[in-house]
Amino acid sequence: MSATDRPESVPGNGVGERGGSLGRRLVAVVPRLLTLGLGFLFLWMGLAKALDPVGFLKLVRQYGVVEGPPWLNLLAACLPWFEAFCGALWMLGVAVRGTAAVLGVMLAAFTALVWRHALALQATTGLSFCQIRFDCGCGGGEVWICAKLAENGLLLLAAVFLLVHRPGGRGA
Amino acid sequence: MGKARPQSQPSSGTRRVSVVRQALLVGAFGWVFALVANTLSPRGLSLTRDYFPASPLPATGGIGQATAGAASAVETGALGAVDQKLQEHGLEPVTDERMHALFTDARYAQELVVFIDAREARRYQEGHIPGAYLFDRYRQDEFLPSVLPACQNAESVVVYCNGGDCEDSHFAALALRDAGVPADRLGVYSGGILSWQKRGYPMETGDRGSGMMVEGVGAP
């Protein structure tokens, strides 16, 4: 493609330059906004759970993935702080892609667990799937399962975007 | 072979390795941070303590936590099984009517009947049965010294938590039994504070004996 095919890049074409520059700036700023926003979310959710570790312990236990000490305790004690740690890294713009990989894997695993638990509740209660509401231990209290799955899907997409995107930030 | 890449651009393979290495570092540092934070936190969990020793309740899979309509029917059905399980552990299930009768009994004022609230301190402060002792079994060392003498001097001790599939009252009752309170004096109020409140029975907020009373929301 020749330069004349791209008027926005022709020197002296003010409108085109401004448009291209704005677009580039937007492309550059979206990942940063994502890491700031999602980082804050993970930090907040992590701290909410870390400040009530007993409550989180009970909720982790309901999934029946691990039982008894030390694994159940370790999971309940450390996961909230780990989540907060990852959130802080994203907010600081440090190790963004590595953090995205870790959180992506964790999100996928938790989403599968929440889904499985909701199916079990549905089978027991006879409610339709989207009528199921319970505290999944995600940090925000009781949630409607369909809304939670949609939210996790979006978070997972964001994590994948940050993983494949090539940001210019530190540690990336 | 594909197109030659400029030397300054890392190949996709190199980038992948870099991301994996970064993820491993994040994982390692994150877990170390989490362990240290849990250790330093005053609310941190013990990694070795069994918080749920031999669950006294039949497995419900958290049914009571599904809050939509049909779940209540399941809860009601599960209650009989819960009571049966309590009896198997030598604990007496206490009904709403019996609980209220004990509350109005003169022996309650004399502390010959003692109620134990097995929920966390925050919930207790929000509202508890007047005169009930707070016993957060997850912080047993902190609460047992004040609760145990009262229980040992009482003729009847009834433990409650939220109700439904809340297990804390059962575990707390077993903890009191293990601490020396005779099992035949111990009971568990299966309906819990929610049922108490729903029936419009009195509630006290703040500390034990604060005198700040609120009426329950339901009809007496």
| Whether residues B24 and B130 fall in one domain | no
- Chain A: closest CA distance from residue B65 (Å): 5
pTM: 0.71
What lies within 8 Å, CB to CB, of A20 at 6+ separation is A8, A9
| Whether residues B148 and B92 fall in one domain | yes
| Whether residues B166 and B87 fall in one domain | yes
In this structure, is residue A171 part of a structural domain? no
ipTM higher than the 0.85 cut: no
Chain A residues in contact with B66 by the CB 8 A cut-off are 121, 124-125, 127, 132-134
What is the number of domains present in chain A? 1
In this structure, is residue A67 part of a structural domain? yes
In this structure, is residue A98 part of a structural domain? yes
In this structure, is residue A1 part of a structural domain? no
| Whether residues B35 and B132 fall in one domain | no
Low-confidence stretches of chain B (pLDDT < 70) are: 1-13, 15, 54-82, 215-220
Least confident of A25-39, A47-61, A107-121, B75-89: B75-89
pLDDT of residue A38: 94
- Chain B: closest CA distance from residue A39 (Å): 14
| Whether residues B208 and B155 fall in one domain | yes
CATH of the domain at B116: 3.40.250.10
Residue A73 has pLDDT above 90, yes or no: yes
pLDDT of residue B66: 44
The chain B residues in contact with chain A (CB within 8 A) are 15, 18-27, 29-31, 33-35, 37-38, 41, 43-52, 61-63, 65-71, 74, 120, 138
In this structure, is residue B140 part of a structural domain? yes
In this structure, is residue B27 part of a structural domain? yes
| Whether residues B42 and B98 fall in one domain | no
In this structure, is residue A42 part of a structural domain? yes
Instruction: Kindly state the average pLDDT of the residues A124-153.
Output: 89
| Whether residues B196 and B107 fall in one domain | yes
Cβ separation of A121 and B35 shorter than 8 Å?
A: no
| Whether residues B23 and B88 fall in one domain | no
In this structure, is residue B159 part of a structural domain? yes
In this structure, is residue A10 part of a structural domain? no
pLDDT of residue A119: 93
pLDDT of residue B134: 95
Domain region containing B99 = 72-214
Domain region containing A28 = 16-164
Residue A153 has pLDDT above 50, yes or no: yes
Residue A92 has pLDDT above 80, yes or no: yes
What is the number of domains present in chain B? 2
